[in-house]
A and B are shown apart, each in its own frame.
Chain A
Amino acid sequence: MSAPPRQYDARPAGETAAPGVPLPGHPPPGDTPPGDPPPGDAATRATEAILHDTLHSSHRGIVVDSPPGAGKSTLVVRAARELAAAGRPLIVIAQTNAQVDDLVDRLATADPALPLGRLHSSEPHPYDPVLDDHPGVVTSARIADLDGLPVIVSTAAKWAWVNRETPWPHAIVDEAYQMRSDALLAVAGLFEKALFVGDPGQLDPFSQVGAEQWAGLAYDPSASAVATLLSHNPGLPQHRLPVSWRLPASAAPLVSAAFYPYTPFRSGTGPGDRTLTFGTPSGDCPADRVIDEAALSGWGLLELPARVTPRTDPEAVAAVAQVVRHLLTREGVSTDERRTGPTPLTAERVAVGTAHRDQAAAVRAALAGLSLPEDLHVTDVTVDTANRLQGREFDVTVILHPLSGRPDATAFHLETGRLCVLASRHRHACIVVCRAGVPELLDDHPSTEPVQLGVTVKFPDGWEANHAVLSHLSAHAVPWQPRQL
């Protein structure tokens, strides 16, 4: 049983209703209209303002909204180092073990001399062994072993078990929009002040059971941590990072307009700064044509004939597998501003995103069934659901549209965050595989979720965001002809 997804907006209603008006505490306008100053300058100014507030503000909390790939992890690493350098011991609270390991790895790489604690569970293989290569990192399942270290990192779930008389002076809460209010409740006693960082456009936290009875309460335990924090502390400074370094110039405007209509951001790179080319010429099959379209324009839509299908639509799954196969076999090469020379497009730079786990499993099985040569390492292609792809980054993504082949558009499949996560993981190109007829399906299923009193309506709703993305994709559509016709 899945509870209906909850719609929350961290910002007070007045702010979302006034697009373009700078929010209190935000960096001055001028970085918002994309195009004018160099993106690096706007990003630097935002970061400086955030660090200044983190170190000097008298407020107990600071909230930073970060669109996809805007340097959130870099910010967290920098803030942690500066706090530690200022002699303020801190804890970092992330949501998953993978995020914790990634942060510790980045912190230790950035500052090998900084003593770091990684608090972990007592399960087997509790953390990424790569952390053992960093001499400054101390790992333990007991907080007592880590006491006194300037920075200690762990998951919210693990922190909730920690008891301590005196709270830490500071904390950084990562992915705070994906943290549930009740998880924050369990750990908020551990720190005096905190920096909350997250992406408001990604998937909202959810609960396996109904939580309607608390809807509208400021501390609704199933709401996001930021929603609760801001409704109890509306005066907290809110910042946002204005530049996405991940999304290419082809993707940032669409993702910004479709998912962040009132807090626009821009791409850190311009058109032509990144290229994706293929050594093997196109074989004029639909998979090749959609790959060529995506390599050229950043987006591709492989459109299968309209049909209502089971969730693991065999035809769509086969189409996804074919696209991945052609991506890997055509000797793709990418260039971008980060690397000096051309980089081959290898399997670990490709991801497949789905809405459901069984779809991911079906795609994995289909990829294994292709019997591709060993040296392509097809098992290195990440195939996972939107929830698990949050925070990840790839060169090319292939996504199975959440509404493809469905007879109805449920709140789960319409959830804005799901499509946003899927459509914002790539540095070069995104290929969407979908049955035709989704716009009609959307029109047949307007949002019917009950309106809860006291709950701020989140914009945009999934219906609108889906339409925006599909209408953009329709210009990059390639029809898929089944082989036997």
Chain B
Amino acid sequence: MSLMSALARMEAAAAGRAQPRATVRHRHLAERPLVLVPLTTAGEAGAPLGALVGTDRDAPELLVVPQPRDRDQRFAFLARLAGAVLPHLESAQDDVEFEERKENDPETGKKVTIQVELCVDAPQLLVPNAPGADFVRLLGRSMRFRRTAEEEPDAPYPAPPRVPLLGRWLTQYGERARVPGSALLLSMTELLARHWATGQSALEDQHLGALLAWIDPPDGLSGAEAALHAETERDAAGQLLCPPAGPATDPAFDNKLLAPAVARFDAGLHGAEEELRELIGSQLRPAWAAMWRGIDLLRTLPEGERVAERFKRDRWSYTAHRDRVRSGEPPQPRRDDAVTAAAKLAVREQAQARLEAQEALDDPLVMAERRLTGEAFAGEVVEVEMAWSDGKRPMPRPLVTLRTTDRPHLSEGGRVHRAVDEGARQSAEFVSGHGPGLVTLRLTNGMGRSKEPAPGTVPEQGESLCWTLFEHAPRGGPGLPEVEDTPWTHGGPPAEPTGPAPAAPAGDPTAAGTTAEQPPAPPLFPLPDPVTSEDLL
């Protein structure tokens, strides 16, 4: 936690109300997000109990599994979930624009510009909290390898149509959510905690009700009182007034209400299913309302300038997944291979650096945090001295001196950057401090191609500037080998992708990919366990 977040938390505790951590909204928020509040069965991972889902706050669809341990009912639930979620996730597939992309022509080997489709929008999925997002991932994992009767007519227990497809989409959304700054699948507690600091711990912020209580306490109550109320207040029957926002349920609910109701359902009593629907709905509705309250609160913040640029990357991700599904590719593998894992990590590290830079550039409050840690500084230009580089074609290298009260961690020759108009950047190198509070920089680019700098590109005396020590657009890393060229240090090329029914028996060491150059007695390393039917559930 940065010093400023700690201060904001203390101020929130003192004021009895959450304090802003941002002046703009740093994540894309769709006009029509699909809200999903899932519940799971205690003691059995991956056994859904019910869900509220929908894009209309006044008309959520309630899905319930009356006996969560009944696999048939579970798949009936998943089929209904597919019916509720897939139309939304697929809704933006056909509305495309065209982007230019450079690609190597496979025949000539030359770079050619091609037109590729990019979906104009990417549907958004919102869940209450991080465990909710994990649950989406788990559901995706449990569904994407299933086969429908159409795909495998002879296999027993076929999955309902569209369930495997939903699994692939949820897996895609769950993986994308691990990319910092992405917005396809977001959790409400993380969204709210990014924008407000409460007077409680980060752990306590994971309770959606308590978090909202701090951000928007009801009249007459402080944030701390309202949060305590949300966490602990129970009705006469001992039930929480603000049940947890899933996927876990409150034990008191499980024991006193749910278990007897399920027992009545199992006994085949009349009306038991209706009663269960009502019970599970009663646990979900407060979280549903809280989700939309959170959305309202987030909508009060204007969207950050660079949010759309980041969301465009989500659209690329969405479009690429659409293309993979349409081209009939198999579902995402159970585990990433070495090359895919490294590529994903590289993308995420770049996204993290980009997110940190863009949030600071979009938001003076975030920039203040970076200034406080010496990673940026703001100041007024007190002197500009024209100078030129040596060499045959002298280029402008003016010296700009700023007066600042910040204390940036600059060292001789260190590079700094600032945003200029229209998304452009200018860089400079640190020359040396002329004295306390003075920083002299030598501008190194962004001044046009001629000997005299283009008008407006060199700051003038009296101008206020903000320079950062971090890059604004971190560069991507180098390419990785193709999967089939995985080197010997990483186990060689992986075996043929194992689908639900592995073609070759896993565990065959030759399938690990040995090459002719390898020394005799190729080292055996333990292969993953063979796929069993449990893996697919």
Complex contact B342–A181 (CB within 8 A): yes
| Known interface pairs A185-B487, A232-B523; A219-B409 also in contact (CB < 8 Å) | no
Instruction: Give the Cβ gap from B248 to chain A, nearest Cβ, in Å.
Output: 19
Interface 1/0 per residue, B480-520 and A, CB below 8 Å: 11000111111100000000000000000000000001111
Complex contact B481–A185 (CB within 8 A): yes
Complex contact A189–B481 (CB within 8 A): yes
Complex contact A161–B478 (CB within 8 A): yes
Contact of A60 among B353, B413, B518, B525 (CB under 8 A): B518
Contact of A186 among B3, B348, B374, B481 (CB under 8 A): B481
| Known interface pairs A185-B480, A220-B341; A361-B519 also in contact (CB < 8 Å) | no
**A43 CA / B320 CA spacing, docked (Å):** 56
* Closest residue of B by beta carbon distance from A219: B338
Complex contact B349–A358 (CB within 8 A): no
B518 contacts across to A, CB distance below 8 A: 60
Complex contact B374–A219 (CB within 8 A): no
Complex contact A207–B345 (CB within 8 A): yes
* Closest residue of B by beta carbon distance from A454: B526
B contacts with A: majority SS: loop
Interface residues of A in 165-190 (CB under 8 A from B): 181-182, 184-186, 188-189
A358 contacts across to B, CB distance below 8 A: 373-374, 409
| Known interface pairs A188-B490, A220-B341, A221-B338; A213-B480 also in contact (CB < 8 Å) | no
* Closest residue of B by beta carbon distance from A229: B489
| Known interface pairs A209-B348, A358-B373; A219-B490 also in contact (CB < 8 Å) | yes
Interface 1/0 per residue, B145-184 and A, CB below 8 Å: 0000000000000000000000000000000001010000
Interface 1/0 per residue, A352-365 and B, CB below 8 Å: 00000110010001
Would you call A483 an interface residue if the criterion is a C-beta within 8 Å of the partner chain's C-beta atoms? Answer: no
**A357 CA / B337 CA spacing, docked (Å):** 36
Contact of A234 among B345, B481, B523 (CB under 8 A): B523
Contact of A188 among B180, B336, B344, B488 (CB under 8 A): B488
| Known interface pairs A58-B520, A209-B180; A232-B488 also in contact (CB < 8 Å) | yes
Interface residues of B in 336-369 (CB under 8 A from A): 336-339, 341-342, 344-346, 348-349, 351-353
Instruction: Give the Cβ gap from B408 to chain A, nearest Cβ, in Å.
Output: 9
Complex contact B353–A208 (CB within 8 A): yes
What is the total of A-B residue contacts with beta carbons within 8 Å? 116
Would you call A200 an interface residue if the criterion is a C-beta within 8 Å of the partner chain's C-beta atoms? Answer: no
A234 contacts across to B, CB distance below 8 A: 523, 525
B407 contacts across to A, CB distance below 8 A: 361, 365
Complex contact B342–A185 (CB within 8 A): yes
Interface size on B, as a range, is 35 or more
**A478 CA / B514 CA spacing, docked (Å):** 61
Instruction: Give the Cβ gap from A416 to chain B, nearest Cβ, in Å.
Output: 23
A236 contacts across to B, CB distance below 8 A: 523
Contact of B489 among A161, A188, A207, A220 (CB under 8 A): A188
A361 contacts across to B, CB distance below 8 A: 374, 407, 409
Residue among B353, B518, B519 having the largest count of chain A Cβ atoms under 10 Å: B519
Complex contact A189–B352 (CB within 8 A): no
B519 contacts across to A, CB distance below 8 A: 58-60
Complex contact A60–B488 (CB within 8 A): yes
Instruction: Give the Cβ gap from A96 to chain B, nearest Cβ, in Å.
Output: 16
Complex contact A235–B523 (CB within 8 A): yes
Contact of A213 among B178, B180, B349, B517 (CB under 8 A): B178
Would you call A85 an interface residue if the criterion is a C-beta within 8 Å of the partner chain's C-beta atoms? Answer: no
Interface residues of B in 440-481 (CB under 8 A from A): 477-481
A339 contacts across to B, CB distance below 8 A: none
B341 contacts across to A, CB distance below 8 A: 182, 214, 217, 219-221
**A357 CA / B485 CA spacing, docked (Å):** 39
Would you call B335 an interface residue if the criterion is a C-beta within 8 Å of the partner chain's C-beta atoms? Answer: yes
**A182 CA / B342 CA spacing, docked (Å):** 5
**A229 CA / B491 CA spacing, docked (Å):** 8
Complex contact A218–B525 (CB within 8 A): yes
Contact of A185 among B3, B178, B344, B490 (CB under 8 A): B490
Complex contact A228–B352 (CB within 8 A): no
Instruction: Give the Cβ gap from A211 to chain B, nearest Cβ, in Å.
Output: 6
A160 contacts across to B, CB distance below 8 A: 477-479
| Known interface pairs A61-B489, A209-B352, A210-B178; A222-B345 also in contact (CB < 8 Å) | yes
B353 contacts across to A, CB distance below 8 A: 208
A229 contacts across to B, CB distance below 8 A: 489
A213 contacts across to B, CB distance below 8 A: 178, 336
**What's the tally of chain A residues with a CB closer than 8 Å to chain B?**
44
B523 contacts across to A, CB distance below 8 A: 232-236
**A1 CA / B351 CA spacing, docked (Å):** 13
* Closest residue of B by beta carbon distance from A361: B409
A338 contacts across to B, CB distance below 8 A: none
Interface 1/0 per residue, B312-349 and A, CB below 8 Å: 00000000000000000000000111110110111011
**A386 CA / B345 CA spacing, docked (Å):** 24
Would you call A450 an interface residue if the criterion is a C-beta within 8 Å of the partner chain's C-beta atoms? Answer: no
Instruction: Give the Cβ gap from A413 to chain B, nearest Cβ, in Å.
Output: 14
* Closest residue of A by beta carbon distance from B413: A125
Interface residues of A in 1-52 (CB under 8 A from B): 1
Would you call A456 an interface residue if the criterion is a C-beta within 8 Å of the partner chain's C-beta atoms? Answer: no
Contact of B339 among A157, A185, A365 (CB under 8 A): A185
Would you call A310 an interface residue if the criterion is a C-beta within 8 Å of the partner chain's C-beta atoms? Answer: yes
* Closest residue of A by beta carbon distance from B517: A192
**A59 CA / B479 CA spacing, docked (Å):** 27
**A125 CA / B479 CA spacing, docked (Å):** 25
A210 contacts across to B, CB distance below 8 A: 178
**A60 CA / B492 CA spacing, docked (Å):** 13
**A161 CA / B479 CA spacing, docked (Å):** 7
* Closest residue of B by beta carbon distance from A192: B517
Interface residues of B in 86-144 (CB under 8 A from A): none
B338 contacts across to A, CB distance below 8 A: 185, 219, 221
| Known interface pairs A185-B339, A208-B353; A228-B489 also in contact (CB < 8 Å) | yes
**A170 CA / B413 CA spacing, docked (Å):** 36
Complex contact B489–A217 (CB within 8 A): no
Instruction: Give the Cβ gap from B427 to chain A, nearest Cβ, in Å.
Output: 11
Complex contact A233–B413 (CB within 8 A): no
Instruction: Give the Cβ gap from A162 to chain B, nearest Cβ, in Å.
Output: 9
B486 contacts across to A, CB distance below 8 A: 185
B517 contacts across to A, CB distance below 8 A: 192
Would you call A231 an interface residue if the criterion is a C-beta within 8 Å of the partner chain's C-beta atoms? Answer: yes
Contact of B345 among A1, A221, A228, A232 (CB under 8 A): A221
**A1 CA / B409 CA spacing, docked (Å):** 19
Instruction: Give the Cβ gap from A385 to chain B, nearest Cβ, in Å.
Output: 11
Complex contact B345–A357 (CB within 8 A): no
Complex contact B342–A221 (CB within 8 A): yes
A365 contacts across to B, CB distance below 8 A: 407
Interface 1/0 per residue, A333-358 and B, CB below 8 Å: 00000000000000000000000011
Complex contact B178–A186 (CB within 8 A): no
**A210 CA / B353 CA spacing, docked (Å):** 13
**A219 CA / B337 CA spacing, docked (Å):** 8
Contact of A231 among B351, B487, B520, B525 (CB under 8 A): B525
Complex contact B480–A184 (CB within 8 A): no
A235 contacts across to B, CB distance below 8 A: 521, 523
**A217 CA / B335 CA spacing, docked (Å):** 9
* Closest residue of A by beta carbon distance from B372: A358
Residue among A58, A214, A235, A357 having the largest count of chain B Cβ atoms under 10 Å: A214
Complex contact B490–A232 (CB within 8 A): yes
Contact of B336 among A1, A214, A218, A357 (CB under 8 A): A214
Interface contacts beyond A188-B489, A218-B525: sample of 9 additional A-B pairs, CB < 8 Å, sorted by A:
A184-B490, A189-B481, A214-B345, A219-B338, A221-B344, A222-B345, A233-B525, A235-B523, A357-B409
8 shortest A-B CB distances, which residue pairs? A188-B487, A182-B342, A219-B338, A160-B478, A221-B342, A232-B491, A188-B489, A209-B348
Sample (27) of A-B pairs whose CB atoms are under 8 Å apart = A58-B519, A58-B520, A60-B488, A157-B478, A160-B479, A181-B342, A184-B490, A185-B342, A185-B480, A186-B481, A189-B485, A192-B517, A209-B178, A209-B349, A209-B351, A214-B341, A217-B335, A221-B338, A221-B344, A229-B489, A231-B525, A232-B491, A234-B525, A235-B521, A357-B409, A358-B409, A361-B407
